[in-house]
Amino acid sequence: MAGRFAPRNAPRTALPHPAPVPAPSSGPVPASAPTSASGSVPETGALTREWTPPGPFDLRLVIGPLRRGPADPTFRMTRDGTVWRASRTPAGPGTLRLAARGGRIEASAWGPGAPWLLDRLPTLLGATDDPDAFRPRHRLLALTRHSRPGLRLVRTGLVMESLIPSILEQKVTTDEAYRAWRLLVRGHGTPAPGPADHAPFTALGLHVMPDARTWSLIPSWEWHRAGVDAKRSATILRAVRVARRLEEASAMELPEAAARLELIPGIGPWTSAETLQRSNGAADAVTVGDLHLPGIVGHALAGNRDADDEEMLRLLAPYEGQRHRATRLVLLSGRTPPRRAPRRTRGDIARL
């Protein structure tokens, strides 16, 4: 459920539609000043770019689904709302810093992947998304959409960086999956490029996830130590062997992209949807096979907390083409069924 961890009660920071301003530069440019516009981070060695959203924009809501838990080593958000992301791009590792400033998004990037990240900045932040295509048929969704006008669907253009953590999330608690992602990326990834002489950046501890070859060389005991069972680790190993072919799915339409991913044994509709929601900005990639989502959607739209996938899809049928956006709005509404049982106990196969 991409976006299920976006803050529901945190103060919203949607940016109002700004007045027309001169067009920013069409692409990344080398930073020429020793400090950023905010004066907080040295820009030496960075490329920078500004982008003005075409309407209301909430950076936290848009980029939030890429965060895999509060200690995700590839994602950090500082107290002032600045977002740091470390990615493995086709051009190499890169670090991207995003900040909302006066109706604009200011971006800085470091590393071999910096030009790639800045070239695709508008796409990442939902420039190709069309929020106006959504027509609410339920009062709850209309109200939530009105209260969250800055929601756009993120699109990274990177399949593997969303596929691998989605595989780790199969059939386990989110805490278990986050722990596995954290241990594997810190243990086998590489430190993210950035302003290494700046103490606050180094304190973030950002890491770039391993490349396909490194994933394939992780020994079985390291998977076990991270709490990843043989089924999930085998699925990841099968995926990284054809990583290049899977990355091609980022340019495909949703049915073809899902079919490409689901050719890999161990990747089903749940995993492909969770991946393509992030990599492709797929507005219709509804997550089926989830333990909680059908009950949440059923409770919010029909007062039926015991809804199954079939009932969920029936309720979402009026939103064909926008079903993922509809489920995000349901989750952001905060209307979830009260808990009836204790939270599932976290397992730890590393103790076995």
Question: pLDDT (tens digit, 9 = 90+) per residue, 189-223?
Answer: 999 999 988 888 999 999 999 999 999 999 999 99
Computed over every residue of the chain, the mean pLDDT equals 89
Looking at residue 15, its pLDDT comes to 45
Looking at residue 2, its pLDDT comes to 54
How far from the centroid of its chain's Cα atoms is residue 319's Cα?
22
Per-residue pLDDT reduced to its tens digit, 131-161: 999 999 999 999 999 999 999 999 999 999 9
Tokens 């979402």 sit at which residue?
Answer: 316
* SS3 sequence of 117-154: HHHCHHHHCCCCCCHHHCCCCCHHHHHHHHHCCCCCCC
Looking at residue 252, its pLDDT comes to 98
Least reliable range by pLDDT among 165-179, 232-246, 262-276, 332-346: 332-346
Average the pLDDT over 288-317 and give the result. 97
Per-residue pLDDT reduced to its tens digit, 116-135: 999 999 999 999 999 999 99
Confidence of residue 25 (pLDDT cuts 50, 70, 90): very low
Confidence of residue 343 (pLDDT cuts 50, 70, 90): low
- Give burial (CB, 10 Å; 0-12/13-18/19+) of 271: buried
Confidence of residue 349 (pLDDT cuts 50, 70, 90): low
Tell whether the model's pLDDT for residue 316 goes beyond 60: yes
Per-residue pLDDT reduced to its tens digit, 26-75: 456 555 433 333 334 445 689 999 999 999 999 999 999 999 999 999 99
Looking at residue 344, its pLDDT comes to 60
Q: 8 vs 320, which has greater pLDDT?
A: 320
Per-residue pLDDT reduced to its tens digit, 280-302: 999 999 999 999 999 999 999 99
φ and ψ of 279, to 5 deg: -75, -35
CA distance 203 to 129: 34
Looking at residue 14, its pLDDT comes to 45
Looking at residue 97, its pLDDT comes to 97
CA distance 112 to 337: 46
User: Please, are residues 227 and 94 in contact by the beta-carbon 8 Å criterion?
Assistant: no
